[in-house]
Amino acid sequence: MPSCMKYFSPLSFLGLRFFWNSFNLLTAIMSATPYLSDFFEFLRFPSISTDPEYAPQVAACAGWLEEKFQRIGLEARVHPTEGHPIVVARSERKPNRRTLLIYGHYDVQPVDPLDQWATPPFEPTLKDGLVFARGATDNKGQILAHILGVEKTLKETGDLPVNVIFLVEGEEESGSESLGRFLDGHREELACDLIAISDTGMVARGVPALTYGLRGILAMEVKLSGAEGDLHSGIYGGVAPNPATLLARLLACLHDDCFRVAVPGFYDAVVEIQDWERAEWARLGLDDAFFQRTIRSRALLGEKGYTPVERAWGRPTAEVNGIGGGYQGAGGKTVIPHEAFAKLTFRLVPNQAPAAIQAAVCDHLKRICPPQVRMEILPGHGGEPFLCDPHSKDALAARRALLRTWGVEPALIREGGSIPILHTLRGTLGAEILLLGLALPDSACHAPNENFPLENLEMGIRLNQVLLEELACAH
Amino acid sequence: MPSCMKYFSPLSFLGLRFFWNSFNLLTAIMSATPYLSDFFEFLRFPSISTDPEYAPQVAACAGWLEEKFQRIGLEARVHPTEGHPIVVARSERKPNRRTLLIYGHYDVQPVDPLDQWATPPFEPTLKDGLVFARGATDNKGQILAHILGVEKTLKETGDLPVNVIFLVEGEEESGSESLGRFLDGHREELACDLIAISDTGMVARGVPALTYGLRGILAMEVKLSGAEGDLHSGIYGGVAPNPATLLARLLACLHDDCFRVAVPGFYDAVVEIQDWERAEWARLGLDDAFFQRTIRSRALLGEKGYTPVERAWGRPTAEVNGIGGGYQGAGGKTVIPHEAFAKLTFRLVPNQAPAAIQAAVCDHLKRICPPQVRMEILPGHGGEPFLCDPHSKDALAARRALLRTWGVEPALIREGGSIPILHTLRGTLGAEILLLGLALPDSACHAPNENFPLENLEMGIRLNQVLLEELACAH
């Protein structure tokens, strides 16, 4: 348990933490059980948006959501797009009430490496209070908590304190391309005072957070080609260019020896982490030991001169997400591969612009790529970094809702992940965004054995209920 | 057509090359046709020795060979080993005759990337005088030529000028591990005066060669592991070690900027290329343009200070045969891979010893591997470089046989590939080795669309017949 938990938990000083946790867990399982069938049904759709093969299952998942919204009394509709469908649902629009738009996504990441899943990724499995499935945390569990919260309030009171619009898309994991166009075409329908999103994290179990910043992202794939086909490495070794070798040399130039990104101009627009942020983050106790335990690694590695949490939340990166080329099977094969590829993402911080970084990276790669191979750069999706004011009236209302739900002051954090659509949402709808995440550090988002605690589903339902109350009287 | 062809072809000066080639091709197809069914049957076995899944097909291929040998009147037997079976066949041993052992292998390389084959790799296809199939050149076509040569001589004369032993193994492409033990246990049975092997190349179509040197090989796989599972590159990017990034940095240290291998001590035992070799190789016209055309690459790349043919035949290398880690599918996936691997081979020249090079490479990798990841080095097979005297009595007999077959003086060459068992064969049986290859530079050995000209099958049959004659009276 991280030290931040000690800091926040009001009961830890009394040595009652064990009972408190057991009680919470029991309560969660008992009270969330009625929603389990909804959750499991939602999770069974392999709604992988990055792989075109899964398009029918993505569409089926959108259809399920539409029906769910209609069953709880909202007006709902699936909107086809050029990509995957967008589901919009709304409560009856009452005048003189503020309108909250709740954004989420029903698409999920691919599942490989499949052999590392303890249970099938699309057969949700409840174990020790955790639901294991691809998408359990990112984002099905979190968006479902809001849907179930609205359902509960409607059942309990027959009304909602604010007008609510749900906007649930199916392309978040592949760049949200359709959503931008959709927002443009539905400004009036989606007009709102505020946007709430639960697609970020808590600091730890029982320690809620308001996330006021996110990193941006820039994705690309680099492919090097040499000869037209694979060659015998005995006959042509020493003569033919080896794209795998040359790709390695190219990637070795992404960082310098201090693990700063070595692309010229990369840091030009970077806003340094502020002193109050360093102090706020330092007290959370997310130290080396915490990260090592969470990721189960013998050591950490990153830019010199920053703590792990500073590197994760406030510093940009260059990562190789996938590398491949040549023989991949068992044993060996003495070939010179004819091509090799690397899938790259760069995480960006304020005020790095994806387009400027893309240009800088392309320039860098072109400058250092040896002329003996052909380089192809396939541009991927981009998303700007995000920052908002954690001290605004609505942010204060959200912090009260978090406090009422967990009985603990929420931490003010930034996060390392990216939600590329935040800028478009804010820009198009002209509303500020509250990020109230329910993910835990060990939820294994994007990785095998992704999971979501039932406790967080229950707390998320509660959070939705009190958030609507707090926002109704925030101004 | 390379300029070496002009140098050697006696008819090129008369402008009759087209007719000569057409005539050769027609003759070849017509006279080889009776053997086509044997060749195609042999090629249909997917006898891939590196992948344990194919063990039954490898065994079936050995059985087919045994039957073929018996049908032509040799005494033949399949010997099971701990790996794949070894087939031995022999003519009746007559006294006062020299004994020639002909070595070959019936196993083949894996076939991936399968999608780059124009025809199925195990469905032999005849097109424009070329037989396309995995193993067509390496080594089924070449060993079959010897078998068919012996068959033809026996049919024509009822006898052979020398005693013949065939030794055909099934692990050449995976290190020939069983053959070493087998030779030890069958010294008497395999006792011979000389060994002939056709598993090397011709300089070009119609230009035969005696290969007096081969590079050695050392294979290994390097695997780096970071966290225990793949991680979200947003949440942990900048914090977690990325094995793909670090592997790239490791591989970038395999070569220096002149593309010399940067492993300390790597060149300590290297014997420089001799002046007469430089001169002999230079006149073959295997220049940059020839290699570029052959491998269909925009440029060549290798160690500075040497011509392409010198780099391929007389200089050692480090090659990445395969690299992998993280997401390999369509689109992107924002993960930090938990591991990454590279399959490496080093080609060695006289007097580099595989064990010494393995120790040097392991030391180098251990020295430069960052402590944040776990490195595992899986040792692969090794084979010493080979060199013999191209001016010995038997080598001169072989050169006469090559001249009689093609009507062209054979070139004296070394080759870049490796036949790791040569040293064991020579050491255990105490006999010198003649390398009389039938492969062409564009045979695509180890690559998609491997092929063997029917013309070479026919010429190989003829070569076997005259070789036996020449060797019978060489001393």
Task: Report which of B471, B407, B472, B445 is spatially closest to residue B142, judged by C-alpha positions.
Answer: B445
Asked whether residue B297 is domain-assigned, the answer is no
Q: Do B295 and A236 touch (CB under 8 A)?
A: yes
Number of structural domains in chain A: 2
| pLDDT tens for each residue of B277-329 | 999 999 999 999 999 998 999 999 999 999 999 999 999 999 999 999 999 99
Are residues A228 and A151 located together in one domain of the fold? no
pLDDT > 90 fraction of chain A, expressed in percent and rounded: 85
Query: Residues of B with CB below 8 A from A315's CB?
Result: 238
Contact (CB, 8 A) for B128 and B121: no
| Rounded Cα–Cα distance for residues B295 and B312 (Å) | 13
Q: pLDDT digit string (tens) for A450-465?
A: 999 999 999 999 999 9
Q: What's the pLDDT band for A4 if we cut at 50, 70, 90? A: very low
B425 shares a domain with B370 = no
Residues A364 and A408 in one domain: no
The answer, for A156 touching chain B at a CB cutoff of 8 Å, is no
d(CA B224, CA B97): 57
The more confident residue out of A32 and A283 is A283
Q: What is the dihedral of CA B435, B437, B441, B444, to 10 degrees?
A: -110
Nearest CA in chain A to B235: A416
- What is the mean predicted confidence (pLDDT) over B60-75? 98
Token readout for A117 is 């899943």
Q: Are residues B327 and B237 in the same domain?
A: yes
User: Does A305 lie at the interface with B, CB-CB under 8 angstroms?
Assistant: no
Element (H, E) at A400: helix A393-406
Give φ, ψ of B171 to 5 degrees. Answer: -130, 20
Question: Domain range holding B412?
Answer: 3-214+386-472
* CATH code of the domain covering residue A7: 3.40.630.10
Tell me the CB-side half-sphere exposure of residue A209, using CA atoms within 13 A.
27
* Residue B329 contacts A where some CB pair is shorter than 8 Å: yes
ipTM score: 0.80
d(CA B440, CA B444): 8
What's the pLDDT band for A26 if we cut at 50, 70, 90? low
Q: What is the CATH number of the domain that holds B341?
A: 3.30.70.360
pLDDT (average), residues A145-171: 97
Decide if A239 and B302 are in contact by the 8 Å CB cutoff: yes
A70 plus A198 within the same structural domain:
yes
User: Which residues of chain A are within 8 Å of residue B330 when distances are taken between CB atoms?
Assistant: 50-52
A343 touches chain B (CB under 8 A): yes
Q: Tokens in use for B229?
A: 């599972």
B136 shares contact with chain A (CB less than 8 Å): no
pLDDT tens for residues B204-229? 999 999 999 999 999 999 999 999 99
Among the residues of A9-78, which ranges form H helices? Answer: 17-43, 55-71
Contact B326 A323 (CB under 8 A): yes
Same domain, B376 and B229: yes
A379 shares its domain with A428? no
Domain finish residue from A355, A383, A411: A383
What pLDDT sits at residue A8? 35
Residue B299 domain-assigned (yes or no):
no
Give yes or no for B295 touching A (CB within 8 A): yes
* Interface contact B308-A444, CB threshold 8 A: no
Residue B464: asked if its preceding bond is cis (omega within 30°), the reply is no
pLDDT cut 70: percent of chain A above it: 93
Identify the pLDDT of residue A420: 75
What is the rounded average pLDDT of the residues B155-161? 97
Q: Which residue has the higher pLDDT, B3 or B93?
A: B93
CA distances in angstroms from A264 to A269, A355, A357, A361, listed in the order given = 12, 15, 10, 8
Whether B350 maps to a domain, the answer reads yes
Mean pLDDT of chain A: 92
Among B341, B192, B147, which Cα is nearest to A332's?
B341
Same domain? A342 vs A367: yes
3-state SS of chain B is CCHHHHHHCCCHHHCCHHHHHHHHHHHHHHHHHHHHHHHHHHHCCCCECCCHHHHHHHHHHHHHHHHHHHHCCCEEEEECCCCCCEEEEECCCCCCCCEEEEEEECCECCCCCHHHCCCCCCCCEEECCEEECCCHHHHHHHHHHHHHHHHHHHHHHCCCCCEEEEEEECCHHHCCHHHHHHHHHCCCCCCCCEEEECCCECCECCECEEEEEECEEEEEEEEEECCCCCEECCCCCCCCCCHHHHHHHHHCCCECCCCCECCCCCCCCCCCCCHHHHHHHHCCCCCHHHHHHHHCCCCCCCCCCCCHHHHHHHCCEEEEEEEEEECCCCCCCCEECCEEEEEEEEEECCCCCHHHHHHHHHHHHHHHCCCCCEEEEEEEEEECCEECCCCCHHHHHHHHHHHHHHCCCCEEEEECCCCCCHHHHHHHHCCEEEECCCECCCCCCCCCCCEEEHHHHHHHHHHHHHHHHHHHCCC
- Report pLDDT digits (tens) over A370-380: 999 999 999 99
Asked whether residue B7 is domain-assigned, the answer is: yes
Residue B308 lies in a domain: no
B280 lies in some domain? no
* Residue finishing a domain among A383, A413, A430: A383
What tens digit of pLDDT does each residue of A232-282 get? 999 999 999 999 999 999 999 999 999 999 999 999 999 999 999 999 999
Look at residue B290 and tell me if it is in a domain: no
Give the one of A228, A234, A321 whose C-beta lies nearest to B333's C-beta: A321
Provide the mean pLDDT of chain B. 92
DSSP bridge partners of A374: A225
Show residues of chain B in contact with A171, CB under 8 Å.
none
- For residue A461, the model assigns a pLDDT of 98
- Per-residue confidence (pLDDT) for residue B1, from 0 to 100: 28
* Structural tokens at position B145: 């030529």
Domain finish residue from B335, B361, B383:
B383
**CB within 8 Å of chain A, chain B residues 38-77:** 50-52
For residues B151 and B28, state if they share a domain.
yes
Q: Is there a single domain that holds both residue A191 and residue A231? A: no
Nearest to B345 among A51, A116, A334 (CB): A334
CA dist., res. A66 & res. A62, Å (int):
6
Phi, psi of B377 (to 5 degrees): -115, 115
Q: Tell me the percentage of chain B whose pLDDT exceeds 90.
A: 85
Domain-located, residue A286: no
CB atoms B240 and A329 under 8 Å = no
Mean pLDDT of B190-199: 97
- Are A407 and A265 part of one and the same domain? no
Q: Taking 70 as the threshold, does the pLDDT of residue B20 lie above it?
A: no
The alpha-carbon radius of gyration of chain A (Å, integer) is 23
Phi, psi torsion values for B381, nearest 5 degrees: -80, 160
Nearest to B4 by CA among B268, B222, B293, B217: B293
CB atoms within 10 A of CB A2: 21
Q: Is the predicted pLDDT of residue A13 greater than 50, yes or no? A: no
Q: Do B157 and B110 have their domain in common?
A: yes
* Digit-coded pLDDT (tens) for B246-256: 999 999 999 99
